[in-house]
Amino acid sequence: MDIKGLQYFIAAAEKLNFTSAARECHITQTAMSLHISKMEDNLGFQLFNRGKRGVELTGAGNHFYHQALSIVRLYETAVHNGLEIAAGAEGILRVLVLSSAEGFVFKKQLRTFRERHPKVNLSVLVRDSSQMVSSLKNGDIDIAIGPPEDMECEPDISVIPLREDPAIAVCSERHPFAALEKVTAEHLKNERVIVYEPKDLPNTINAMRNDWMQLGLLPGEVLYGNNLEEIILMAELGQGIGILPGYVGGRIRPGTDNGPVCIELSGIDGVPISRTALCYLKENRNPAVKNLLEIFTSKEL
């Protein structure tokens, strides 16, 4: 006895006519009669009373009908949900970002994913950079959005470049630099700057330092912030000049009381560039990853 067999029985129980039930199931009346008889033999009790006026369910048959109906409906729901999950239309998708700034920068893509796949639980996690590589490899997350330099060295991780942003300077409204249109290498020589130094991402750190040296950006003192939000706050409190990716500027709104000010940054021969990429484990079998990749790589957004 299988699901198809239960469906034949349900049709017969609802039609109370083997010929009509057979027609609905696209089999012959003889095949339907034989199937019901075989079911009764296997079950050990009679499903139908057969008479000159037709057939009717026995008490046991009526009980079995309702149970069979529940089983078939549960099976159909399970198949439907399985197909939805296999297509990435249901399930969970875990995305790691290093600060809420990345989440805001890519909110259009993330919102589009939610609109197209409302049954997928999209979980955006703000985590320390030290967890990026390990979280991907351990399967704790599906996608990481952040600097690509260290991810590109991992053979089992795919890296999709998303954007490159020139760095900007951020300072308090009370700082002398707040009146400048551009902060140059010369300005920073005797200044304390605050930068983000990713933890456990040595290639990213080396790329940042090399970039700064080549552009002649050699500040008097360097402080480190744990995340972009912390750097903005430190700069706003007058602890130094924050150096941040350009996309952060769109999230900063100068306040009435020493609020942060964004200023263009320029080295001797260019501007430091911050790279952002989408990274995922090549062996990741979550179909929702593919659906999010299609949105991020679409030229429509």
Tell me the CB-side half-sphere exposure of residue 33, using CA atoms within 13 A: 9
Enter the tokens of residue 292: 């999010």
Does some domain include residue 220? yes
Same domain, 130 and 150: yes
Q: Taking a C-beta distance cutoff of 8 angstroms, is the pair 253, 226 a contact?
A: no
91 pLDDT above the threshold of 80: yes
Does some domain include residue 301? no
Q: For 243-285, how does the pLDDT look when each residue is reduced to its tens digit (9 = 90+)?
A: 999 888 766 655 545 568 889 988 767 888 889 999 999 999 8
pTM for this structure? 0.69
What CATH number is given to the structural domain containing 36?
1.10.10.10
Same domain, 24 and 61: yes
Of 30, 64, 86, which marks where a domain is finished? 86
Of 48, 69, 86, which marks where a domain is finished? 86
Same domain, 170 and 269: yes
Q: In which band, very low, low, confident or very high, does the pLDDT at 289 lie, cut at 50, 70 and 90? A: very high
Distance (Å, rounded) from C-alpha 79 to C-alpha 71?
A: 12
Same domain, 282 and 141: yes
Does some domain include residue 14? yes
The pLDDT, as a whole number, for residue 209 is 87
Does some domain include residue 210? yes
Does some domain include residue 75? yes
The pLDDT, as a whole number, for residue 254 is 54
Average pLDDT, the chain: 88
The pLDDT, as a whole number, for residue 283 is 92
99 pLDDT above the threshold of 70: yes
Enter the tokens of residue 264: 């263009």
Residue from 89, 77, 81, 79 nearest 286 by CA: 89
The pLDDT, as a whole number, for residue 301 is 63
Same domain, 176 and 31: no
Q: Is the model more confident about 128 or about 230?
A: 230
Same domain, 100 and 191: no
pLDDT over 70 percentage in the chain: 95
Distance (Å, rounded) from C-alpha 103 to C-alpha 248?
A: 11
Does some domain include residue 170? yes
pLDDT over 90 percentage in the chain: 56
Question: CA separation (Å) from 296 to 239, 285, 293?
Answer: 37, 18, 5
The pLDDT, as a whole number, for residue 105 is 87
Same domain, 53 and 104: no
Same domain, 153 and 286: yes
Same domain, 139 and 282: yes
Same domain, 151 and 285: yes
Q: For 166-186, how does the pLDDT look when each residue is reduced to its tens digit (9 = 90+)?
A: 999 999 999 999 999 999 988
What CATH number is given to the structural domain containing 245?
3.40.190.10
Q: Which domain holds residue 51?
A: 3-86
The pLDDT, as a whole number, for residue 13 is 92
Give the total number of structural domains in the chain. Answer: 3
Of 60, 86, 112, which marks where a domain is finished? 86
Same domain, 171 and 268: yes
Same domain, 101 and 126: yes
Q: Taking a C-beta distance cutoff of 8 angstroms, is the pair 294, 95 a contact?
A: no
The pLDDT, as a whole number, for residue 136 is 92
Q: Is the model more confident about 80 or about 21?
A: 21
80 pLDDT above the threshold of 80: no
Q: In which band, very low, low, confident or very high, does the pLDDT at 26 lie, cut at 50, 70 and 90? A: very high
The pLDDT, as a whole number, for residue 148 is 94
Q: For 210-230, how does the pLDDT look when each residue is reduced to its tens digit (9 = 90+)?
A: 888 888 888 889 999 888 889
The pLDDT, as a whole number, for residue 227 is 85
